[in-house]
Amino acid sequence: MPLDLTLKNAHPYEPSKSLVAKIARRLVPFQERRDVRFKLDKPVVSFTFDDFPRSAIENGSDLLEKQGWNATFYVAAGLRDVFNHHGQQFAAEDLPALEARGHEIAGHSFGHIDLTYLSQTALIAEINRNKKALRAMGVNGPIDNFAYPFGAVSALLKKTLAGQFKTLRGITPATHVNKADLNGLKSAPVFSGAKLDHTMTLIEGLKSQPGWLTLFAHDIRDTPSEWGCTPEEFTAIIEAVKNTGALVLPIQSAIQHVESNRVD
Ligand SMILES: [Zn+2]
């Protein structure tokens, strides 16, 4: 499959359907793990936004702030000022403004590309290019956490990026109960449709089995993309999380909390 590096085509994305690629993807969760084991008395939820479109601020993090909550934004710096299928993407000044309000800025590669195609050298260059661009836009805080673009991950990626970040997040929808792979954090989509019902089920499940659930969203607007949701749906998610009594923390604080509840 040719590697398409153009930003406009960054999202609609199809992972390789070859048998070898499918088998490799099934093995990855068991490879290059960095497990943390913990026991929580109370659930923890982390809201995260990927890429990210500006509507994630207006209809997303602004609403979280009303609850006294903060989020993590996984930013691909190359998407700055781009208009794509998620709508208008962030502007440079959004990043320090979000940080000033207590949100976390995290890594997501510069060009929002499938990193599994890159050599180790090219991969590190891509990650550093993003960090440098985020700094140039005024990001001051630590850039300690990362999300794989498209959730595309390989054993080499896990191994290489483990040395660069405290956590690496994918897109497998599940709650971390008693254990998390820091090289492959799971995350549930806040996307309209059937996936939202499943995410709601995971949120409900926190009431009977406290764990750490991370959520990820893109555009939040009246006519969302396939990977987005409406403001009403996002509000419903907030209400559901509130009803669980969960601690709501960005990834950097959630990991500190989880590690302070470590059991070995
Ligand atoms: Zn993304």
Q: Which has more pLDDT, 3 or 179?
A: 179
Q: Is 195 among the domain residues?
A: yes
CA distances from 204 to 39, 45, 239 (A): 19, 12, 11
Going from the Cα of 15 to the center of ligand 1, the distance in angstroms, rounded, reads 14
Listed in sequence order, the residues at least 6 apart from 46 whose beta carbon sits closer than 8 Å to its beta carbon are 71, 72, 212, 213, 214, 215, 248, 249, 250, 251, 254
DSSP class of residue 90? P
Domain CATH for 47: 3.20.20.370
User: Looking at this protein, which amino acid is placed at residue 128?
Assistant: N
Instruction: Quote the domain boundaries for residue 100.
Output: 35-260
Confirm whether 184 is domain-assigned: yes
Which tens digit of pLDDT belongs to each residue from 4-45? 444 444 456 777 888 888 888 888 898 899 999 999 999 999
Let me know if residue 26 belongs to a domain: no
Tell how far the Cα of 149 is from the centroid of ligand 1, in angstroms: 5
Cα(62) to ligand 1 centroid in Å equals 20
Are the beta carbons of 51 and 112 closer than 8 angstroms?
yes
First to last CA, the chain: 43
Residue 263 Cα to ligand 1 midpoint, Å, equals: 32
The answer to whether residue 21 is domain-embedded is: no
| Residue pointed to by tokens 């836009």 | 137
Looking at the structure of the chain, the number of domains it has is: 1
Whole-number Å distance, alpha carbon 81 to ligand 1 midpoint, is 15
| Residue 232 CA, ligand 1 centroid: distance in Å | 22
Measured in Å, residue 43 CA sits from the centre of ligand 1 at 26
Those residues with Cβ within 8 angstroms of residue 143's Cβ, 6 or more apart along the chain or in another chain: 105, 106, 107, 131, 134, 165
| Cis before 110? omega within 30 | no
191-249 residue pLDDT tens: 999 999 999 999 999 999 999 999 999 999 999 999 999 999 999 999 999 999 999 99
Give the whole-angstrom CA distance, residue 85 versus residue 163: 33
- Alpha-carbon distance of 201 to 142, in angstroms, equals 33
In a domain, 29, yes or no: no
Q: What's the 39 CA to ligand 1 centre distance in angstroms?
A: 30
Ligand 1 mean position, distance from CA 79 (Å): 10
Query: How far is ligand 1, taken at its centre, from the CA of residue 253, in Å?
Result: 21
- Residue 11 confidence (pLDDT): 52
Q: How far apart are CA 35 and CA 158, in angstroms?
A: 12
The alpha carbon of 113 and the centre of ligand 1 are apart by a number of angstroms equal to 9
CA of residue 142 to ligand 1 center, whole Å: 20
Is residue 6 one of the residues assigned to a domain? no
Structural domain includes residue 10: no
pLDDT in tens, 127-163: 999 999 999 999 999 999 999 999 999 999 999 999 9
